[in-house]
Amino acid sequence: MMNLRVIILLLLLFPGAALSNHAEFTPTLRKAWKEMFVLQFDSMYALTSQARNQAAAAYIESYGDFLKAFISEEEKDFNRLKNRIDERLDQVEKISSKSPWKRMMRAEMLLHLAVVKFKWKEYFTAAYYFRKSFHLLEDNKRAFPDFAPNQRALGFFHAAIGTVPENYKWISNLIGLKGTVTQGESELTRVSQMIRNSKEWGFMYDETIFLKALMQGLFKKDYESAQATLSDPGFGTGGQGAMHTFILANSFAAGGKQAQALEILQNFNAEKGSYPMLYLQFMRGNFMLNRLDLTAEKYLLKYTAEFKGRSFIRSAWHKLAWIELLKGNENGYQEKMKKITVTGSDFTDEDKQAMKEAVNGEKPDLTLLRSRLLFDGGLYDRALEEISRKPANYWQRERDQAEVTYRLARIHDQQNQFDQAISLYQKTYNLWKSKEWYFASNAALHLAMIYEKQGLPAKAREWYRKTLALRNHEYQDSIDQKAEAGLERVGRR
């Protein structure tokens, strides 16, 4: 056995050797990673506690705290992430600089903190950590170009930067971040291939596929590609938890296949001990309502009662108010609309819209509401039937006239009747582009998408730019992001 003097001498001569094992993902820590990704946080913490002196354990715990804080939106979870970040970064700092894990772990921990700070509207400190994280990842790529785990976060970073909505471009411009969706997708595709059969990195495969599908759906708006990515037989082998269910259902719903998305949610049963992802309840209620199934109320009420965060709370009350209206309960409608003004926040576009309608007190037309919901649920024939029941002169309010024109355009578009859709989109844009309603901007967006499908990149580019030129309208951020993603696909010049 090597004596103590020899060990001490080796430590003095080769300090990196003493630290390199701190980046090792032992079988116990790989299991902890799997447990983290299916939101089994108690099990994850129990496993990482067995390797308390290892940097990889600190990294996994920090990742778990990030997921918990992001999902729950509870201040105690946010504070846990913030209060332990320095201690965990110090642990990672002990890794040898010769290890590619060192910068990557630090970068991802800072990135997670930045994302949560951004959600809490701490924009300037979020920007600082975004910048620091990005440059650590870029530096690590230069030092270790073949280190696949580093490319996971960097690829997602590049894609996200490429579609930053106009309202937040000042952040990416301020800190000098650059990237495109195409670049990010290419990187994540390459990484997933490198990681899939790797003995060293294979435990990260599920997360890599999740990030790639999320990027394709959220940033690129290419839902068919996202679904193809998720159909990989290797995805979900660690357990089909809430994260797996969310990304799968979201990709189907955003791609116009809400029936399949609803079926995925209905078939999901959380495993005992997994952290509740209550947003799935909101999604389920939303998709049920889009089929005019008023028992959606049960799931939306569960979300408002049990979710302690703020996102989509106003939107949930908005949908609950619609349910009362569809029931014919005027008092119930007014009661639920009042809830919007005293709960939640305006972080999401849906919450902003709910607050706007609560403040202006303009009740939606029932026929248009039913048509809108059915359309969102993918029931296009029924959505058209609702509008067709009323004569053309029935619509007296200008907003209703705009919505009818826009809704007919959307229905024709989804039924591949593009000539009618183009004409109605152009009419919507020309007549109501000066209004703050979302109809004109979304009409311009979908015109661009039609031209993109038809292989007319110049016309698509023109209409994506017209979309972005319209400011201060409803659903600004989400429409802008889709237009930015479109410009990335067709080329900005």
Q: Is residue 65 part of a domain?
A: yes
Q: Where do we find the tokens 């819209």?
A: 353
Cβ count within 10 A of residue 259: 16
- The DSSP annotation for 181-242 comes to HHHHHHHHHHHHHHHHT-TTTGGGHHHHHHHHHHIIIIIS--HHHHHHHHT-TTTTTT---H
Distance CA 136, CA 141 (A): 9
Q: What is the reported pLDDT for 151?
A: 93
Range of the domain at 104: 1-145
Find all residues with CB under 8 Å of 491, minimum gap 6, and list them: 457, 461
- Convert the pLDDT of each residue in 432-470 to its tens digit: 999 999 999 999 999 999 999 999 999 999 999 999 999
**With 70 as the cut, is the pLDDT of residue 474 above it?**
yes
**With 50 as the cut, is the pLDDT of residue 20 above it?**
no
Report the pLDDT averaged over residues 138-145. 95
Distance CA 458, CA 441 (A): 18
Find all residues with CB under 8 Å of 357, minimum gap 6, and list them: 318, 337, 340, 364
Cβ count within 10 A of residue 419: 9
Distance CA 235, CA 220 (A): 20
- Convert the pLDDT of each residue in 106-127 to its tens digit: 999 999 999 999 999 898 899 8
Q: What is the reported pLDDT for 11?
A: 35
> How far is CA 340 from each of CA 291, 318, 325, 336, rounded to the nearest angstrom?
23, 7, 15, 7
Q: Is residue 370 part of a domain?
A: no
Confidence of residue 170 (pLDDT cuts 50, 70, 90): low
- Convert the pLDDT of each residue in 215-224 to its tens digit: 888 888 888 8
Q: Is residue 57 part of a domain?
A: yes
Q: Is residue 22 part of a domain?
A: yes
**With 50 as the cut, is the pLDDT of residue 133 above it?**
yes
Confidence of residue 227 (pLDDT cuts 50, 70, 90): confident
Q: Which residue has the higher pLDDT, 347 or 148?
A: 148
Distance CA 351, CA 68 (A): 22
Confidence of residue 234 (pLDDT cuts 50, 70, 90): confident
- The DSSP annotation for 379-391 comes to -HHHHHHHHHTS-
Classify residue 470 as left (phi > 0), alpha (psi -120 to 50) or beta. beta
CATH number at residue 132: 1.25.40
Pinpoint the alpha helices (H) of 307-397.
313-327, 330-340, 349-360, 366-376, 380-388
**With 50 as the cut, is the pLDDT of residue 10 above it?**
no
Q: Which residue has the higher pLDDT, 490 or 11?
A: 490
Q: Give CA angle at 197 (264, 214), nearest 5°.
A: 35
Q: Is residue 82 part of a domain?
A: yes
CB 304 within 8 A of CB 313: yes
Distance CA 483, CA 449 (A): 9
pLDDT above 90: percentage of residues in the chain: 73
CA neighbor of 493 nearest in space, from 454, 451, 461, 455: 461
CB 130 within 8 A of CB 114: yes
Cβ count within 10 A of residue 453: 11
Distance CA 378, CA 356 (A): 26
Distance CA 297, CA 66 (A): 30
Q: What is the reported pLDDT for 15?
A: 40
Q: Is residue 140 part of a domain?
A: yes
Phi and psi torsions of 144, nearest 5°: -135, 75
Rg (CA), the chain: 25
CB 161 within 8 A of CB 172: yes
CA 405 to chain centre: 30
Tokens encoding 202? 């294979």
Q: Is residue 41 part of a domain?
A: yes
Distance CA 452, CA 489 (A): 9
Domain count, the chain: 1
Q: Is residue 54 part of a domain?
A: yes
Q: How many residues does the chain have?
A: 493
Q: What is the dihedral of CA 444, 445, 447, 448, to 10 degrees?
A: 120
- Convert the pLDDT of each residue in 179-209 to its tens digit: 788 888 899 999 999 998 899 999 999 999 9
Distance CA 336, CA 84 (A): 40
pLDDT above 70: percentage of residues in the chain: 92
Confidence of residue 167 (pLDDT cuts 50, 70, 90): low
Q: What is the DSSP letter of 309?
A: S
> How far is CA 152 from each of CA 209, 210, 232, 251, 424, rounded to the nearest angstrom?
10, 10, 17, 20, 42
Find all residues with CB under 8 Å of 101, minimum gap 6, and list them: 23, 55, 56, 95, 149
Cβ count within 10 A of residue 329: 14
Note the pTM of the prediction, 2 decimals: 0.89
Tokens encoding 182? 């195409």
Confidence of residue 239 (pLDDT cuts 50, 70, 90): low
